[in-house]
Homo-oligomer: A and B are copies of this chain.
Amino acid sequence: MEAGARLFKDRGFDETTTSDIAEAADVSQRTLFRHFPTKEALLYGDMEELQLELRDALADRPLDEPILTVLRAVMLSLADNFERHRDRRLLQASLAARYQSVSAYSRAVVQTGWERELIIAVAARLGVDPMMDPRPEILAGATMSAIRIATRQWTASGGGEDYIALIINALDAIPELGSFDRPTP
């Protein structure tokens, strides 16, 4: 993962071959693919850990806590992770902005994984079946969108802005989605 990150940063994602990474890491290409199913998975190799952090954070909140409060607290633990792994997260974000395959992986695998955790937790707290009741999926989707826009703002600032403030600001828009029904004067 470190070798990959270094090469991706220097040369770019498509410009780096999996053999290059294997060589830089002093292993065979075959070994590399035994640890990571795809090249993209190698870039996001530390994300399973983050998903578990998310799951734990969700489990840690009291069951009678208001759901939006739960989501805010959990997303702040995600922000904490981002600031702990600042360089890597910024690299992932900037590569996702430049390379189609990276952004596709981020959306379809990483973010969808988080979203699934949110859906399950929200459904459990509401006591509903997430296949029958659309609300868990919609709330999770809105939350993920908040994360995305906050992360994009954070990345655009080069990590300079306060990520936590950006997330809170975005999440605060969720309860007001209904009042968009009035066009701005």
- Chain A: residues with CB nearer than 8 A to chain B? 63-69, 103-105, 107-109, 112, 125-127, 131-132, 134-135, 137-142, 144-146, 148-150, 152-153, 156, 169-170, 173-178, 180-184
Extra pairs beyond A67-B181, A137-B148, A141-B146 (6, CB < 8 Å): A104-B108, A138-B142, A141-B141, A141-B142, A142-B142, A142-B177
Taking a contact as CB atoms under 8 Å apart, the answer to whether B180 and A135 are in contact is yes
Q: Are A137 and B108 in contact (CB under 8 A)?
A: no
Residue of B126, B153, B170, B178 near A131 (CB, 8 A) is B153
Consensus secondary structure, chain A interface: helix
> Cβ of A174: which chain B residues have Cβ within 8 Å of it?
138, 177-178
> Which of B125, B137, B150 contacts A149 (CB under 8 A)?
B137
CA distance A139 to B144 in the complex (A): 11
Are B145 and A177 neighbours in the complex by a CB distance under 8 Å?
no
Report yes or no: A181 in contact with B68, Cβ–Cβ below 8 A.
yes
Q: Are B69 and A177 in touch, CB under 8 angstroms?
A: no
Please give, as numbers and ranges, the residues of chain B lying within 8 Å of A139 by CB-CB distance: 142, 177, 180
Q: Is the CB of B181 within 8 A of A64?
A: no
Choose among A64, A112, A183 the residue with the greatest number of B CB atoms under 10 Å from its CB.
A183
